[in-house]
Structure 1
Amino acid sequence: MGRAEERRARQRGGHRAAPRRRRSAPTAGATGSAGAPAGAPAGGKPAKSFIRRLFTWKKILGTLFGMCLLVILAFIGLYLYVDIPAGNAAAQLQSNIYKYSDGTMLARTGDLNRESVDLSEVPKDVQHTFVAAENKSFYHDAGVDLKGTARGVLNTLMGRGTQGGSTITQQYVKNYYLDQNQTVSRKLNELVISLKLDRQKSKDYILAGYINTSYYGRGAYGIQAAAQAYYHKDAKDLKVQEGAYLAALLQAPNQYDWALATDTGKKLAQARWNYVLDNMVKQNWLDAGKRQAMTFPVPKAPKAAPGMKGQTGYLVDAANVQLEKQLVAQGKANTLGDAEALVRKGGWTITLNIDKKKQRQLEQAVSEQLIGKLDAKKRSVDGNVQPGAVSVDPTTGKVLAMYGGPDYFKHFTNNATRRDYQPASTFKPVILAAALADGATTQDGQPITASTVYDGTSGRQVVGSKVGFGPPNEDKQDYGPITVQTAMNKSVNSVFAQMGVDVGMSKVMDVAGKLGMDTKGMEAVPAQTLGSMGASPLEMAGIYATLDNHGKKVTPTIIKSADHKDSSITLPDPIGDEVIPRTAADTVTSVLTGVVDDGTASKSVADNPARDGQQVAGKTGTSDNNKSAWFTGYTPGLVTSVGLFGEDAKTHAQVPMTGATGLVAPSGGPGRVAGGSYPAKIWAAYTFGAMGDVSKFDLDTTQGAAVQPTYTPTPSSQPTPSSKPSHSPSGKPSTSTSPSHTPTHSPTQSPTQSPTQTPTQTPTQTPTGTITDNPLDPGGGQNFGQNAGQ
């Protein structure tokens, strides 16, 4: 039948649509016996593959439905099986026991600082601060955050750590009925108990329980204890802005505590405080106009807990901080706040690395060399001097002694671990270490070694910097051409500013981080060569311990062991891999012996009669405006960093220490507290009594001299930018670069390679262009670091 006939036939039959066309017939060789394609069934339809027959839509949907049904049934079973347990928060609290390294008792803590109050005693707007901070949907949710809980369970199963997101009800259940352990079973129990609690108890009951059982830091459990700890008032008298700060604390009690927080921590605390109040405005719980008028309520100074008198509180706090960090690192706590709560809950036996004898010797050295000379009644500045010190074994990383301040009851902040003061010139060895480790050269291609000659003119502008920077030397003294060794001995700012740029400040800060300095957020700018960042005695002791340990990383650790009946903690090895080559580390050590024998520490350390021939390496530091003074030094077996910090006794602001103990400058005015004075004296009094047998450094170095070189470049006239030192070794230091005194003792370290050649390199040039703006120095670099250097 042709197409025309076929069409007419369809029209007669009432069909308007054309029939579906058949596919072209296969070739004869591709058909089966019935004319169907080869491999196809007789009906002509292609055969389904095994995978398609196995995974049909019906089977997939059926499987998913079955799995969902099983999960629902399992949850119903869990819901029926799990009951709301009796509260255990108070019952589980025990004492913590702290011991010296020899096992003798240091302290026992555990008195619970908690006082529950009825919700009616807490102002309504203060109640709202906690809801605004943690769970805005609290008043109308079912007590759980299914999405957040599922995410937490999944992260725990996959080993990704943990995260927040729980409701107030869930957090209360965790605090009061369960524990802080991050396990799947605990999270599921938390979910079920929260659902049941929300059905059986009122929202006010749950909120009251939450704010009365949460940990706020400073040893305070509950809002009443927190109100007393931070604002010295009862909870009923709290203002809304004070309540907002307490609510903000719950996210990170230790980090946000104003007395302990770093600058970053304070910014985060204020940001959280703003977040709480802004949420209250959005929820119509706070008038927007009143919100705008509110200022941040700075908390009161903390009060020490009973039994923490003297140095004990500092040691216990330092041990707790290290333990809390390990709990987070090992996944046993979600946040530092949770970790702190776990530690405060008690049941720990913590043995410290603190050597009882060395601890006593350090305390005695500070008392005899400094505290006994301070008289705040006679001189107000004496009341502003805060000492801190840390002593470390460089071969093991053990913190053997720590001095945190005059008394934990009188000064809560631990001066040994605070890092808000500049380390000043104690940072210079890091610059040299970076140069030696990287094989850096000067601007004219000369390798940087202890014998390299630089221009030591005070205030000279560094070459190669994108910003203008020309720091003055101490007392604006000009040195002219000077070797790196002498520049380290004399702590010449202009030399190390140029060296930092020669090496590359990014490389300098990278090496600083490898050695143990916390460089997060630090800018790699020339101003850092003056040690203008913040650092703690603990941090500087670790850096110098790494140098003493021939470049192998030393992370000071105060904890020897930490045991708990419900948890085991494995402490990391304090001794790590080599972070800079041994020759670089040993060369820095060699150079630093010159600071002691012929430099800024010679009077207090080298000439000390108790030295008895002991080899010593170290560096002094005196910060801008004399707000801090340092000496960090070491023998082959003991590293100690001593810092003095000027802190206003009332406002806690940083202030100069000039004139303390009645020091008088040569001009007749108040004298500066330099790193070579009391810090070095404390160091020497402690070290020479605690070091044991006299020892020698085992150094692998072919660079540099261990003491003042036998010559110093002496120009015939003031050098010009293109001039070279016009001299030959004279065998005698020039007047401008000779030590301030002639050593009366033999050098403690002979040069491994005596300089025999005439220095030929050109002192680094002074730029011919104009001074550019330095964002760190509004004065164009001329006044930055004034009086800093020693």
Structure 2
Amino acid sequence: MSEARRKAVPVRRKRHWALRALGWFLAIFFVGVIGAVATFFIVYQATKIPDPNKEFATNTTTVTYDDKKTALGSFYEQNRHTVPLSQIPKHVQDSVIAAEDRTFWTNSGISPSGMARAAFNIAQGEQLQGGSTITQQYVKIMYLTQERTVSRKFQELFIATKLSRQQDKSKTLEGYLNTIYFGEGAYGISAAGDAYFQVSDPRKLSVPQAAFLATVLNNPTVFDIDDKDPRTQKRIIDRYQYVIDGMRQMGTITESQAARYRVKLPALNKKQKNDRYRGPKGFLLDMARKELVRRGFDEDQISGGGLKVTTTFNYNQQKKMVEAATKELPKKRDNLHVGMATVQPGTGALLAMYGGPDYLKSQLNWATLRARPGSSFKPFAVAAALQDGKSIYDMFQGDSPIEIQGKKLNNEFDRDYGDVDLLYATQESVNTAFYDLVDNQMDNGPDKLVDAAEAAGIPKTKALEVGRDNPSTVLGPDPYASPVDMANAYATFAADGKYAPLHVIKEVTGPDGKVLWSEASLTKQQKQAFEPNIARMVNYVLQDVVQKGTGQDAKELDRPVAGKTGTAGGVGVEHRKENAECGGCKDGADTLTSWWTAYTPQLSTSVLYRAGKTGESDLDPYSNEKAFFGGGWPLKTWLAYMEAAHEGLPEEKFAEPDEDDVKNSPTPTSTPSKTPSRTPPSTSQSTPATKPTNTPKNTPSNPPPTKTKPTKTPQWPPLPTGPTIEPSETPDTPGRPGGDQ
């Protein structure tokens, strides 16, 4: 073949695999988009707006004790008054629009960003919530069930879109304003005005009143005006100001009006709560309602969803607790408050609670309000020390004062004990020994103490976290815990170191009988907070408090009992002005809290006494003793309940700790300067069975004083003046020693 006829053979280039993949991806993508659009329009056309739910919110939720039969009460019955939109003034309409859906008049009935957020929550495995427009909220209330599922959310999407196109927006707003839940059992703007201000005619609502109602409807529990927690109050004012600013931006009110209204909330004039909340049981209902919210049930479901709620409260135990808390008291009772709680070890179930005599007269729950635990915090120091490798026979300074970070801190009445071991220090609640233990003998002692307290079940709070750097944390100087918290934390020791989350709801079923939530779901949150032998050693030490120490009256229960007293000193609210004028002459003169928290293997019960309108007054005038100590009236009230509560229960013993730990000889850290003597622990069945060898003989070199209570011992700095519900969370540095007997 000639060269001229020879032609080059064309080279076929293979298309790069990435280009082919991109082509297929784009093809699939466009097919998917077309399919999604087509599906949307098909479903949209097929969606019918159903008849409004004629049974709307008429099913009252009922609440029972733990037997599922005995009625505890019910939540709000429907309180609803329908008014036409023409009788709802523009500033009232705009307040709700400013709060819930500022694009209401122009949007298509749905919120794409809200739906995206809901989809993200689903992907994260969280509960479907939030992001709804006014139209979507109205659809959920009137046309759908209260369940939060993906299919229900898609139904809401299509119905809201169609409703927005087919129904005048004014009609939707009118329906919404007459059906949305505002709390206090009030459905609709008319009932809400009546409930909060006793103004049932929306035309008579002022701008601040309308803005407040728009504030609480977002979440009546989160924005509960009766909750005196400063964080809740701040949330309310922040939300209220957000509504006011929205009304200003919409032109409903002027700049000067907004500046004037946003300064403070309008004065409330609430109607008295329904009698179903009367008496001590009102606190139980309120606590159950709040827990339902934490479990994901919204206010519509709680008040009108026809739920059947079984609580952990035991009818017989509750009856016995109320009797003890109202009868076993000092003769002087004016402005004296008792908070009590009983938890079942190993389960976290709150069996009984006393928060006050009548919920309708005061919503301050003395069983859940946190207070200074005083020396009742020392068992957590014992647990932390054992975890740190210490022995209950290690020796610590018992003389007073002790110097910590350059400050001298004292025992109650400035009493000297000599060098004492940890067992005796706990038995007699020797403050200086615990300062020596936590602040001198343990690296990062306060930090380890806080870890132990939180592991046991004391909730993590700002005040407690600050305690990681406070040498006086071991004496509980700040509002670390409530009786409910303490009962559950001590129950961890009773349960061989097993922590169980505290709860008051046992089971929730829907109107159809389907179980919507059960306490069984909490099992995965249980944990071994302490090694069993650590917990058993704590039990051993706290039984010694009952047998030989500050809690000896608890022996009358005639069962194995472990417990600890606690008192916290300070300056009562009635003395703070005088104290400021005299430069701190009354620092530490008053007893502000008094505790007895103790447990058997079956029940863990905490009792707290406080005085005064805000719980910040001096307790000492209520006692004939030198001070209102935990081993006095708190223990007596505890005993009156626990004797009745254990009727019919078999006697159980605490598991014994390892014999070697109990028999170890003391390992003194220094030569005792004083050599007191004390009897070794009893070998009876209700106390630790094996006494230690070579037990240090500790008889205090200085006998108990007979003088009246000193005005400046222990040295606790004054707290801020003014009414408070809980004490200041700002500890003094390096600490504030507290007294205890």
Smaller-chain TM-score range?
A: 0.7 to 0.9
Q: Is the 8 A contact 1:173 1:190 kept in 2?
A: yes
The one-letter code of the counterpart of 1:43 is P
Counterparts of 1:695-734 in structure 2 under 5 Å?
A: 695-702=652-659, 724-726=671-673, 731-732=677-678
**Residue matched to 2:551:** 601
SS at match of 2:404: coil
Following the alignment from structure 2 to structure 1, what is the Cα–Cα distance between the partners of residues 414 and 14? 94
Cα gap change, 1:520 to 1:664, in 2 (>3 Å): closer
State the partner residue of 2:230. Answer: 263
* Alpha-carbon distance between aligned partners in 2 of 1:76 and 1:251, rounded to the nearest angstrom: 32
Give 2:180's aligned residue.
Answer: 214
Instruction: Check the 8 A contact 1:618/1:631 in 2, yes or no.
Output: yes
| Aligned partners of 2:194 and 2:271 also within 8 Å | no
Q: Is the 8 A contact 2:676 2:697 kept in 1?
A: no
Asked if the contact 2:146/2:305 (under 8 Å) is kept, the reply is: no
The one-letter code sitting in structure 2 at the alignment partner of 1:756 is N
Q: Distance in 1 between matches of 2:38 and 2:678?
A: 92
Give the % identical residues: 31
Work out whether 1:63 is the aligned partner of 2:22. no
The answer to whether residue 254 in structure 2 is matched with residue 287 in structure 1 is yes
Equivalent residue number for residue 621 of structure 1 = 566
Mapped partners of 2:118, 2:729: distance in 1? 44
Superposed displacement of residue 542, structure 1:
1.1
Are the equivalent residues in 2 in contact too, given 1:386–1:406 (CA < 8 A)?
no
May I ask how many residue pairs the two structures share in their alignment?
671
Give 1:570's aligned residue.
Answer: 518
Question: What amino acid is the match of 1:46?
Answer: R
Question: Is contact 1:450-1:703 (8 Å) kept?
Answer: no
Structure 2 equivalent of residue 105 of structure 1: 70
**Does the alignment pair 1:405 with 2:356?**
yes
Match of 1:543 among 489, 492, 506: 489
Q: Is the 8 A contact 1:471 1:494 kept in 2?
A: yes
Deviation string, structure 1 residues 221-254 (Cα, Å, up to 9, x no partner): 3333333434444454444334333323234322
Following superposition, the deviation at residue 659 of structure 1 comes to 5.2
Any gaps of 5 or more consecutive residues in structure 2?
Answer: 1-5, 571-590, 699-718, 720-727
Give the aligned partner of residue 162 of structure 2: 196
Asked if the contact 1:386/1:644 (under 8 Å) is kept, the reply is: yes
CA-CA distance at 1:305 after TM superposition? 2.5
Q: Displacement of 1:641 after TM fit?
A: 1.4
Helix, strand or coil for the counterpart of 2:221? Answer: helix
- 2:519 is the alignment partner of 1:584: no
Please name the residue that 1:14 is paired with. Answer: none
- What's 2:288 paired with? 319
1:183 equivalent to 2:183? Answer no
* Pairing partner for 1:386 from 328, 337, 344: 337
Matches for 1:728-743 after TM superposition, within 5 Å: 731-732=677-678
- TM-score, normalised relative to structure 1: 0.76
Q: Distance in 1 between matches of 2:481 and 2:683?
A: 34
Distance apart, 1:429 and its partner CA: 1.0
Q: Does 1:72 align with 2:18?
A: no
Q: Structure 1 residue 556 and structure 2 residue 511: aligned?
A: no
* Distance of 1:620 and 1:405 partners within structure 2: 22
Residue by residue over 1:505-555, the C-alpha shift from the partner in whole angstroms, topping out at 9 and shown as x without a partner, is: 333222222211211433223243332134222221111111001101122
| 1:562–1:188 Cα change, 3 Å | closer
Following the alignment from structure 1 to structure 2, what is the Cα–Cα distance between the partners of residues 244 and 534? 35
What amino acid is the match of 1:412? Q
Using the TM superposition, give the Cα deviation of residue 94 of structure 1 relative to its aligned residue in structure 2, in angstroms: 1.3
Quick one: structure 1 residues 155 and 428, their matched pair in 2 at CA, closer, same or farther if it must change by over 3 Å? same
Tell me the equivalent position of 1:689: 644
8 Å contact kept, 1:304–1:412: no
Aligned residues of 1:212 and 1:221 also touching (Cα < 8 A): yes
AA matched with 1:540: M
Tell me which amino acid in the other structure corresponds to 2:224: D
Partner letter of residue 560 of structure 1? K
In structure 2, the residue corresponding to 1:623 is in which secondary structure? strand
For 2:431, the aligned partner's letter is N
Matched, 1:663 2:623: yes
Q: Deviations over 1:674-706 (max 9, x none)?
A: 322222111111112222334332222458779
TM-score with structure 2 setting the length:
0.81
**In structure 1, what is the Cα distance between the partners aligned to 2:286 and 2:657?**
39
State how far apart, in whole Å, the 2-side matches of 1:265 and 1:206 are. 31
Give, as a single letter, the amino acid of the residue that structure 2 aligns with 1:249: V
Question: Equivalent of 1:528, from 450, 460, 473?
Answer: 473
CA contact (8 A) 1:107 1:307 kept: no
Q: Describe the shift of the 1:597–1:703 C-alpha distance in structure 2 as closer, same or farther (beyond 3 A).
A: farther
Q: 1: CA distance between counterparts of 2:327 and 2:213? A: 41
Question: Which amino acid counterpart does residue 97 of structure 1 have in structure 2?
Answer: T
The whole-number CA distance in structure 2 between the counterparts of 1:519 and 1:620 is 22
- Secondary structure at the aligned position of 2:596 is classed as strand
Once residues 689 and 704 of structure 1 are traced to their aligned partners in structure 2, the CA distance between those partners, rounded to angstroms, is: 35
Matched-pair contact (CA < 8 Å) for 1:591–1:704: no
CA drift at 1:469: 6.2
> 2:645 & 2:656 partners in 1: Cα distance?
23
What's the offset of the Cα at 1:578?
1.1
Give 1:296-695 correspondences, 5 Å limit.
Answer: 296-297=265-266, 299=268, 303-326=272-295, 328=296, 338=298, 340-370=299-329, 373-375=331-333, 382=334, 384-416=335-367, 418-439=368-389, 448-458=390-400, 460-462=402-404, 471-501=409-439, 502=442, 503-521=444-462, 522-523=465-466, 524-526=468-470, 527-531=472-476, 532-564=478-510, 565=512, 568-571=516-519, 572-573=521-522, 576-603=526-553, 605-606=554-555, 608=556, 611-612=557-558, 614-625=559-570, 626-648=591-613, 653-658=614-619, 662-664=622-624, 666=626, 672-691=627-646, 692-695=649-652
Taking the aligned partners of 2:248 and 2:657, their CA distance within structure 1 comes to 66
The CA distance in 2 between the partners of 1:343 and 1:315, in whole Å, is 15
Q: Cα RMSD over matched residues? A: 3.7
Asked if the contact 1:153/1:187 (under 8 Å) is kept, the reply is: no
- Cα separation, 1, equivalents of 2:94 and 2:615: 37
* CA shift in 2, pair 1:136/1:587, >3 Å: same
Deviations 1:486-512 (A, max 9, x none): 332333334334433425333322222
Cα separation, 1, equivalents of 2:285 and 2:354: 12
Measure how far apart 1:406 and its partner are.
0.6
Per-residue CA shift, 1:425-453, capped at 9, x if unaligned?
A: 222211221221233xxxxxxxx332222
CA contact (8 A) 1:469 1:780 kept: no
Q: Which amino acid aligns with 1:655?
A: E
Gaps of 5+ in 1: 1-33, 37-41, 376-381, 440-447, 667-671, 714-721, 761-773
- How many angstroms apart in 2 are the aligned matches of 1:86 and 1:258? 36
The alignment partner of 1:629 has SS state of strand
- In 2 relative to 1, CA 528–307 (structure 1 residues): closer, same or farther, beyond 3 Å? same
Alignment of 1:233-248 (within 5 A): 233-234=199-200, 235-248=202-215
Go from structure 1 to structure 2 and tell me whether the alpha carbon gap of 1:686 and 1:151 turns closer, same or farther (over 3 Å shift): closer
Deviation at residue 163 of structure 1 after TM alignment: 4.2
Q: Structure 1 CA distance, aligned partners of 2:365 and 2:30?
A: 60
**1:47 alignment counterpart:** 14
Query: Residues 297 and 642 from structure 1, CA distance in 2 versus in 1: closer, same or farther, beyond 3 angstroms?
Result: farther
Q: What is the distance in 1 between the residues matched to 2:254 and 2:433?
A: 58
Which amino acid counterpart does residue 652 of structure 2 have in structure 1?
Answer: S
**Partners of 2:160 and 2:55 in 1: how far apart?**
20
Judge which range, 491-500 or 524-533, deviates more. 491-500
Please tell me whether the aligned partners of residues 80 and 190 of structure 2 are also in contact (alpha carbons under 8 angstroms).
Answer: yes
Per-residue displacement from partner, 1:445-486 (whole Å, max 9, x unpaired)? xxx3322222245563425xxxx6655443444445333223
Pair 203,533 (structure 1): closer, same or farther in 2 beyond 3 Å: same
